[in-house]
Amino acid sequence: MHVFPLKLSVLALLLLPLAGYCQPIHLAEYQTSLLTRGICLFHLNADSLFGVKQNIFISELKKEVHTGYRIALAYSDSTLKGTSRFGSENRALVALNGSFFDVEKGGSVAYLESEGKTHARNRKVGDKWAKTDSLLNGAIVLGKSGRLKIEKARTEAYYEKSNKEKSVLVSGPLLLRKGRSVPLENSEFVKKRHPRSCLYKTKEATILFIAIDGRSELASGMNLRELQHFLLRLNCKDAINLDGGGSTTLWVNGGSENRILNKPSDKEGERPVANILMIQKVD
């Protein structure tokens, strides 16, 4: 797997706007390319965001073109694949790694439902690769009409009985709800800086996929409280954390763009995962 450097249309970014803790961040200043109509790419590179270096990549699906595209879920119950492979096999324009999974045997360790079938349940605390209920407190719900909703996770029984959803992927923790930070547990998972992946919607219903690099001299990553503050500066309304660390991968394929945008932190490069979220063009 080759990871090509991002070709920036703006070689020198103004880093001062990122240095402030509460100042709004205007993504238009950091746009690098237009992947296709309505899908923009952004690169935010800062020498001192939360006092450390950060390297952040964002893909934005604008509200006005939602009818031409859809957010979808791709997964495997056993085989682990790179985010780029999942995306390529499903003819995605954008792919972002999804929720938590069994690194050894594959498959999700958080609730996953697609087309009315339950493929995974939240693994019981104490079992290998399980996550706590306080972390798995959010859900990404894809409606049959194509609408995406980020919500507080309901019970598995509720989702199994409901026929309103096309797909459900539990992850977390929830970071923002209705433009406000959601209280987080006081765990090392929350407090330590790591590469991060997250999905969020703005107040204008624009959808963004974010990959934040970390664990390197060029990027420290963020803890989850820092991530909350960063998302608020991006005019975020609802946001959920996805699997991060070495799994963090944002891949795009449109026009001349066919590559992983960020730099995955594993020495081996892109980490195989069990599920992804993606943007597909509607035929």
Q: What is the pLDDT of residues 60-114, one digit of tens each?
A: 998 866 678 999 999 999 999 999 999 999 999 999 999 999 999 999 999 999 9
Q: Are strands 112-114 and 207-212 parallel, antiparallel or unpaired?
A: unpaired
Band of residue 145 on the pLDDT scale cut at 50, 70, 90: confident
Whether 169 maps to a domain, the answer reads yes
Q: Are strands 69-75 and 236-241 parallel, antiparallel or unpaired?
A: unpaired
Whether 139 maps to a domain, the answer reads yes
Q: Would you say 257 and 34 are in contact if contact means Cβ atoms under 8 Å apart?
A: no
Whether 14 maps to a domain, the answer reads no
User: Which residues, other chains included, contact 216 with Cβ-Cβ below 8 Å and sequence gap of 6+?
Assistant: 263, 265
Whether 109 maps to a domain, the answer reads yes
How much is the mean pLDDT over the chain? 91
- pLDDT reported for residue 158: 98
Hey, CA dihedral for 194, 235, 134, 75, is it positive or negative? negative
Whether 18 maps to a domain, the answer reads no
Whether 89 maps to a domain, the answer reads yes
Whether 107 maps to a domain, the answer reads yes
251 pLDDT exceeds 80?
yes
Q: Would you say 277 and 267 are in contact if contact means Cβ atoms under 8 Å apart?
A: no
Query: Which residue from 96, 55, 99, 101 is spatially nearest to 79, judged by alpha carbons?
Result: 101
- pLDDT reported for residue 66: 66
Question: What's the mean pLDDT in 135-147?
Answer: 92
Cα–Cα distance for residue pair 270/58, rounded to 1 Å: 18
Q: How many beta carbons lie within 10 A of that of residue 214, not counting itself?
A: 25
Give the total number of structural domains in the chain.
1
Give pTM, 2 decimals. 0.92
12 pLDDT exceeds 70?
no
162 pLDDT exceeds 90?
yes
- pLDDT reported for residue 64: 66
Chain segment 179-230, per-residue pLDDT in tens: 999 999 999 999 999 999 999 999 888 999 999 999 999 999 999 999 999 9
Query: Which residue from 212, 193, 205 is spatially nearest to 44, judged by alpha carbons?
Result: 212
Place of tokens 């624009």: 206
Query: Which residue from 268, 262, 277 is spatially nearest to 54, judged by alpha carbons?
Result: 262
Whether 4 maps to a domain, the answer reads no
> 166 is in which domain, residue-wise?
29-281
255 pLDDT exceeds 90?
no
Cα–Cα distance for residue pair 90/21, rounded to 1 Å: 39
